[in-house]
């Protein structure tokens, strides 16, 4: 096993969709065989913009955990834990808060974008907690001594900020922390069923890993196709059609070739094309739905996974906190 450690996570604010699957979960399943892997369910971070909705966060901890397990994240290989149950993270956040300026946080592009998008939560003035979440994320990573953070492009400014904190810390207190690196997912972002660059709950254009066959069919039927096609005989352009785009993710190469050829030749009806796609997505996600049903029927297994993962993460956090406090001369009565 490599000396590197993977640390990544998600805010439990909703169920995960196929954008998450192709963009990161699939890769995590592969990486867990090569690396010591930790995944945190970031409930404290989720509260930074959902502070008045604790029920939502609580409910989604379970949903996200089931999503992880149903796609094949294996708790024997990956330590899955709850952020709030490792209070060393919060402690380290306080220590790091001296090493970051407010101006630097305000310049963080990801934070900036999010604040602009969350006017309905924050109004004119953002909370201290939200502005500071990059500091807490730096603590998430370094308290576990994480060195590789598989994540999407949107997380790049956060990892960069973490690296700056690490360098600052080491320059003052000695060489204690390792600088993590982002591992950008090679997959490009999956577009929504409506052609939007982003897939999301608020946009209503996402297929969830947990969607039922009926939900999948309904969503695929409403997907955006080539707007110039009037009848089946109209020659189509699969390059501007979301159904064809999704065939490329869920159908065999032969099927994709036929879809394109028949569409261009005006020999394929959009309804039939969509039905075929819906069936392929239903089949693709079937093993995940079955696993989900199993875990939903066995909540005690879910609890056990989180309890054990959190126990292991806490031990790791304690160990690293000891080194950190020693370096900061906070090791009283040791
Ligand atoms: N910011 C991540 C998100 O928006 C969640 C997260 C919290 C995270 N702590 C992390 C990701 C540490 C990677 C590493 O979903
Ligand atoms: Fe899209 Fe298929 Fe219709 Fe062509 S036939 S426009 S690929 S749905």
Tell me the CA–centroid distance for residue 142 and ligand 1, in Å.
13
Q: Is 162 in the pocket of ligand 1 (CB under 6 A)?
A: no
Q: Is 151 in the pocket of ligand 1 (CB under 6 A)?
A: yes
Residue 295 pLDDT more than 70?
yes
Q: Is residue 180 part of a domain?
A: yes
Identify the residue whose C-alpha is closest to ligand 1 atom 15. 10
Q: Is residue 43 part of a domain?
A: yes
Q: Is 157 in the pocket of ligand 2 (CB under 6 A)?
A: no
Distance, CA of 307 to CA of 296 (rounded, Å): 17
Crossing angle for the helix pair 270-297 and 242-250, to the nearest 10 degrees = 50
Using a pLDDT cut of 90, give the percent of the chain over it. Answer: 90
- Give the CATH number, domain containing residue 39: 3.40.50.620
Mean pLDDT computed over 227-252: 94
Mean pLDDT computed over 274-293: 98
Same domain membership, residue 21 and residue 113: yes
**Token pair for 274:** 């969509």
Which atom number of ligand 2 is nearest to the Cα of residue 260? 7
Which residues constitute the domain of residue 263?
211-292
Distance, CA of 264 to CA of 248 (rounded, Å): 16
Among 98-102, 194-198, 285-289, 304-308, the least confident range: 194-198
Q: Is 9 in the pocket of ligand 1 (CB under 6 A)?
A: yes
Residue 1 pLDDT more than 70?
no
Q: What is the pLDDT of residues 78-127, one digit of tens each?
A: 999 999 999 999 999 999 999 999 999 999 999 999 999 999 999 889 99
Ligand lying nearest the CA atom of residue 261: 2
Note whether 297 and 289 are within 8 A (CB): no
- Output the pLDDT for position 2: 63
Same domain membership, residue 233 and residue 170: no
Same domain membership, residue 169 and residue 262: no
The helix (H) or strand (E) run that includes residue 183 is strand 181-184
The closest alpha carbon to 262, from 240, 281, 283, 244, belongs to: 244
Q: What is the pLDDT of residues 180-238, one digit of tens each?
A: 999 998 877 899 999 999 898 778 899 999 999 999 999 999 999 999 998 889 999 99
Same domain membership, residue 167 and residue 267: no
Same domain membership, residue 157 and residue 24: yes
Q: Is residue 71 part of a domain?
A: yes
Same domain membership, residue 163 and residue 303: yes
Q: Is residue 264 part of a domain?
A: yes
Q: Is residue 205 part of a domain?
A: no
DSSP 111-165: HHHHHHHTHHHHTTS--HHHHTHHHHHHHHHHHTT--EEEE-GGGHHHHHHHHHH
Mean pLDDT computed over 49-57: 97
Tell me the CA–centroid distance for residue 21 and ligand 2, in Å.
24
Burial of 103: CB neighbours in 10 Å, binned 0-12, 13-18, 19+? exposed
Same domain membership, residue 185 and residue 145: yes
Same domain membership, residue 185 and residue 142: yes
Among 16-25, 47-56, 183-192, the least confident range: 183-192
Q: Is 242 in the pocket of ligand 2 (CB under 6 A)?
A: no
- Output the pLDDT for position 216: 97
- Give the CATH number, domain containing residue 215: 1.10.240.10
Mean pLDDT computed over 38-63: 98
- Output the pLDDT for position 214: 97
In total, how many domains does the chain have?
Answer: 2
Task: Tell me which residue has tokens 């149903």.
Answer: 70
């Amino acid at each position: 096993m490599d000396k590197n450690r993977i640390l990544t996570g998600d805010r439990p604010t909703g169920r995960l969709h196929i954008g998450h699957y192709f963009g990161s979960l699939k890769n995590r399943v592969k990486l867990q065989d090569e690396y010591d892997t930790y995944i945190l369910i970031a409930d404290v971070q989720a509260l930074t913009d959902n502070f008045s909705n604790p029920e939502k966060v609580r409910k989604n901890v379970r949903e996200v955990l089931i999503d992880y397990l149903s796609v094949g994240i294996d708790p024997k290989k990956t330590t899955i834990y709850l952020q709030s149950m490792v209070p060393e993270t919060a402690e380290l956040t306080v220590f790091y808060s001296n090493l970051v300026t407010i101006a630097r946080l305000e310049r963080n592009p990801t934070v900036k974008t999010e604040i602009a998008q969350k006017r309905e939560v924050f109004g004119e003035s953002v909370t201290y907690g939200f502005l500071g979440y990059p500091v807490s994320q730096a603590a998430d990573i370094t308290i576990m001594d994480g060195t590789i953070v598989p994540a999407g492009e949107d997380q790049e400014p956060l990892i960069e900020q973490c690296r700056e904190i690490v360098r600052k810390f080491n320059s003052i207190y000695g060489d204690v922390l390792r600088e993590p690196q982002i591992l950008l997912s090679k997959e490009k972002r999956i577009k929504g069923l409506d052609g939007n660059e982003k897939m999301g709950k608020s946009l209503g254009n996402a297929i969830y890993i947990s969607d039922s066959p009926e939900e999948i069919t309904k969503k695929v039927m409403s997907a955006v196709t080539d707007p110039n096609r009037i009848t089946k005989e109209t020659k189509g352009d699969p390059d501007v059609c979301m159904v064809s785009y999704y065939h490329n993710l869920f159908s065999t190469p032969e099927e994709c070739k036929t879809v394109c050829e028949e569409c261009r030749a005006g020999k394929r009806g959009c309804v039939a094309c969509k039905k075929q796609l819906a069936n392929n997505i239903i089949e693709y996600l079937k093993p995940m739905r079955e696993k989900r049903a199993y875990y939903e029927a066995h909540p005690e297994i879910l609890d056990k996974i989180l309890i054990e993962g959190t126990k292991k993460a806490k031990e790791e956090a304690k160990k690293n906190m000891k080194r950190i406090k020693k370096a900061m001369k906070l090791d009283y009565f040791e």
